[in-house]
Structure 1
Amino acid sequence: MKAWRVHHNGEPREAMRLDEVPTPQPGPGEVLLRVRAAGVNFPDAMLCRGEYQIRPPLPFTPGVEMCGEVAALGPGVTGPEVGARVISPAALPGGAFAEYAVVPAAGVLPAPEALDDAEAAVLHIGYQTGWFGLHRRAGLRPGETLLVHAAAGGVGSAAVQLGKAAGATVIGVVGGPDKAKVARELGADVVVDRHAEDFVAVVKETTGGRGADVVYDPVGGDAYTRSTKCIAFEGRIVVVGFAGGTVPAPGLNHALVKNYAILGLHWGLYAAREPDAVRRAHDELTRLAASGAVRPLVSARLPLSEAAEAVTRVSAGLTTGRLALLP
């Protein structure tokens, strides 16, 4: 089978190579999936560079989530059925940028019928992250104001849709007029182009000076720091990632004086420690997809042969929504 592999750490274009490798076989507790679509994520670039929190042994296949068809069951596995259409996170070092992938049976979930393969492939991590961040960590309530950074990106676009589905007023921050248009189409009530406007001033004006009740921040750096200038009394800042490249050092005295909470979110810990909670969230996301309240924005569907270029584009912040690779 064909599989992209990283033989040495570096930039995706240099580190990724399309190889011909044996089709893997599932072991006990595992299933073999024929990959129907793979989502491209910012962590894929970090994996290539050796900068991610997980460092799989070389060579490895990147790609952290997929929609697939069950091709075979390992010993002792009774479900899902062969032929079922499912979604799953990848089990590195055998990632999703390949024609087949082996994953633990316990993490496999039914693909929502309302979504096509590409949409289903990019639902899992981004929308699960948004669900746990907004509901489990921040306790977002109807009528509250949600500020979403990188609102036209893969993680941010999911938070915009989930925020609207929860009854919040959503303010989206983006970089450029094209991304502003996308954020509006996703449903953001107010959109701020950070290149042309000060989002702090816009948040204060929109909320009558109160500030944002919840901030969803996958960017870090200055986005985080300036968010503390417009956070509401008893507001909650959800730290999702550092796509901006800088990890901020929060002033805890400021959090104390202004009475707001800083909440970290590592979704993978829920998958490891509370898998039942992940399944419950998936059921709710499936319901929201069926109702039309959420639908992943897939801005491009690319052939598997363009994986290295796709990872490079996502890493450089040149995309809106999500990219998906198809066999």
Structure 2
Amino acid sequence: MKQVQLKQYGSPDELKLIETNIPQPKTGEVVIKVEAIGVNYSDTLRRRNQYFQPTPLPYILGSEAVGQIVSVGDVVTEPYGVGTRVLAILPFGGGYSEYVSAIAQYCVPLPPHIDSKTATAIFVQGTTAQLMISQFAKDLKDKTVLINAAAGGVGSLLVQLAKLNGAKVIATSSSDEKLKVAKAHGADETINYSKENWSEKVKSANNGQGVDIAFEMVGGNIYNETVKSLAQGGHLIVYGCASGIQGQVHPEYFVDENISQSGFNLAFYITNKMPLWQEALGTIIELIAQGKLKIETPKTFTLSDVAEAHRQIEARQTTGKVVLTTNH
């Protein structure tokens, strides 16, 4: 089978397509014939060894995959039989492959109305968005919410979920083209954060007031301006730092403005609070089935074009989800 291997840290060119053996399932595992693989920004951080956890070498990137089970290990029971189409969480990587072994309890059978590419868009991004709202922003009715990177995989879903929960949404992004995407998903106001002092524009869009809740994953000065965009007593939810640059806000500002901050890491819920994660996934799947949640058509690359996928993600040339396909 074909597999993309990272042998040394560096540019996207370090991602090498190799031939290797199809894995055999161990006890409690299933082997999946992969159809689609989710590519996340965290993959680019791992490739550069800038993820919050060190990346061992050699390493196979890919924390989520969709496909059909082709073999099962000992003690694996229904619903994980051969032929079952599943979403697989891969906490130790391995997804950039034509076949992958996965822990059965980390697999979720897919309903027939959700295709493989769409499934990758809801697995990480969808549950991230839903969990952040259900755990940190339950009551959004009549609240004003700021969503940064609002055209991205998580951001575009946050916009829709916040609107479904009754919030006024102010969406920001790095380009006017991306803001059009956010507007199409229901954002009430859009602001380009590549321009100076955009936090003042946020307040202007909200009758001179700061926002109640902000979702942030860019870092650097975007983080700083996001904090300034909050109203007194506001809540900041941070779920990443795509720029790799640390924000510079003095802790005293949080005290003076009575602002709170929460951090979100999906891996914590998958490893420690699986029932909550499964509930979030079920909610997203139901909203899609009801036609209440729109999933943007993922941008697709073949496994052999993985380097280009990474380049476009790092250059912020993508909106929504990026997916690799194996052409099975």
Length-normalised TM-score, structure 1: 0.94
Please show how residues 1-327 of structure 1 align to structure 2 within 5 Å.
1-13=1-13, 15-79=14-78, 80-93=80-93, 95-196=94-195, 198-327=197-326
Contact 2:117 2:298 in 1 (8 A): no
The DSSP-based 3-state class of the residue aligned with 2:253 is helix
The DSSP-based 3-state class of the residue aligned with 1:123 is helix
197-206 or 136-145, larger mean C-alpha shift: 197-206
Q: In 2 relative to 1, CA 284–201 (structure 1 residues): closer, same or farther, beyond 3 Å?
A: same
Contact 1:119 1:295 in 2 (8 A): no
Partner Cα distance (1:64, 1:318) in 2? 22
Partner Cα distance (2:242, 2:91) in 1? 23
Partner Cα distance (1:289, 1:43) in 2? 25
Contact 2:121 2:298 in 1 (8 A): no
The DSSP-based 3-state class of the residue aligned with 1:228 is helix
Contact 1:4 1:18 in 2 (8 A): yes
The DSSP-based 3-state class of the residue aligned with 1:61 is coil
Which amino acid is the alignment partner of residue 318 of structure 1?
A: Q
Query: Can you give the 5+ residue segments of structure 1 that lack an aligned partner in the other structure?
Result: none
Contact 2:76 2:104 in 1 (8 A): yes
**Cα deviation per residue 1:235-274 (whole Å; 9 max; x = unaligned)?**
1100111112212244221111111111111111111111
118-127 or 137-146, larger mean C-alpha shift: 137-146
Partner Cα distance (2:183, 2:325) in 1? 28
The DSSP-based 3-state class of the residue aligned with 1:167 is coil
Contact 1:114 1:289 in 2 (8 A): no
Partner Cα distance (1:103, 1:54) in 2? 21
- Number of residue pairs aligned between Structure 1 and Structure 2: 325
Deviation at 1:296, TM superposition (A): 2.7
The DSSP-based 3-state class of the residue aligned with 1:45 is helix
Deviation at 1:216, TM superposition (A): 0.4
Which amino acid is the alignment partner of residue 11 of structure 1?
A: S
Which amino acid is the alignment partner of residue 287 of structure 2?
A: L
Contact 1:298 1:324 in 2 (8 A): no
Contact 2:179 2:192 in 1 (8 A): yes
**Cα deviation per residue 1:20-48 (whole Å; 9 max; x = unaligned)?**
00011111111111111111111111111
Which amino acid is the alignment partner of residue 298 of structure 1?
A: T
Deviation at 1:197, TM superposition (A): 7.0
**Cα deviation per residue 1:52-97 (whole Å; 9 max; x = unaligned)?**
123343222111212221121111110322212211222424x211
Partner Cα distance (1:172, 1:86) in 2? 33
RMSD: 1.7
Deviation at 1:165, TM superposition (A): 2.1
**Cα deviation per residue 1:100-130 (whole Å; 9 max; x = unaligned)?**
1111111111224443211101211111111
The DSSP-based 3-state class of the residue aligned with 1:310 is helix
Contact 2:44 2:314 in 1 (8 A): yes
The share of aligned pairs that are identical, in percent, is 31
